[in-house]
Structures are given as structure tokens and as C-alpha cells.
Structure 1
Amino acid sequence: MAIATSHHGQSQSINETNRKHRRIERQFTSDQIAALEIDFSYTKYMTRRGRIQLARRLGLNERQVKIWFSSRYV
């Protein structure tokens, strides 16, 4: 069985994999940003436990909070 190629020369299976791995940019609500900013003003480097608690409170996942903090203090 051959794998069909697209007009760019990539196989369809590679294109499908790329689509699956594309990141979806998520925007935060104004309330979430306000809460993140408040916590950032007190703690520039949050512990994992703090990230988990904040994420739960805001309806986010820990990774989103971690990335927001690391982007914020750059």
C-alpha cells in the first residue's frame, strides 16, 4: 500500500500528524488574567503546588499557568 503525497511532497500521514500536534492558542479571560497578575505581583516564581492550586481556581491546567508565568517574567 502506497502513501499518497500532497502537492508539497509530504505524505498524508505526516500532514495528519502535524495537524494533531499543532498547538491551539488559548486566550485567557479578563478575570483569569487579573488573577494571574495578582498572583504574579506576590510570587514571580510559583511552586508546582501553587500552580496547581491557581490552575484549579481559574479553570486552567497547570501547564497553562506555568507558561503564562514564564512568559510574564521574561
Structure 2
Amino acid sequence: MRPATHTAREGNTTSATPGWRKSSYSSGDNGNCVEVVASAKGRRVLVRDSKHGDSGPFLTLGAHTFAAFAATA
């Protein structure tokens, strides 16, 4: 399996962001895993369903929005 790499656009800078991390709340037994990665400048957090891997969609949230969401978990 190759490392995850997606492109995150921040302002005028586009950079590859590898290093997806599995949520500590995800269960690894049945594929129900949520993975997250911060963009290169840390202004955005990308969220994806690990079942879809590199070819699947991901959700991009602002860092403050993601922090508010994570605080409710």
C-alpha cells in the first residue's frame, strides 16, 4: 500500500499532505475507520473514510471547525 497523498490548497500554495492518522475512536476490526491529516500550513484538516483510501473523497474543514467538532466527541 502506498502512502496517502492528497493535495490541500491554502491560499496560493498547493502542497502534498501525506501522513493520514486513524482516529482513536475508530474501530479497526470492521473497516469503520475515520482518518485525518492537517494540511501543510495547519489551516485545514482533511477527513476521510479509510475504506476508500487514496482514491476516495475527503472532507476539508477549517482547523477551528474541526476542533469544535472534535470537542463534542
Structure 1 or 2: larger helix share?
1
Would the TM-score normalized by the shorter structure come out above 0.5? no
Larger radius of gyration: 1
TM-score of the superposed pair, with normalisation by structure 2: 0.25
The TM-score normalised by the length of structure 1 is: 0.25
Higher relative strand content: 2
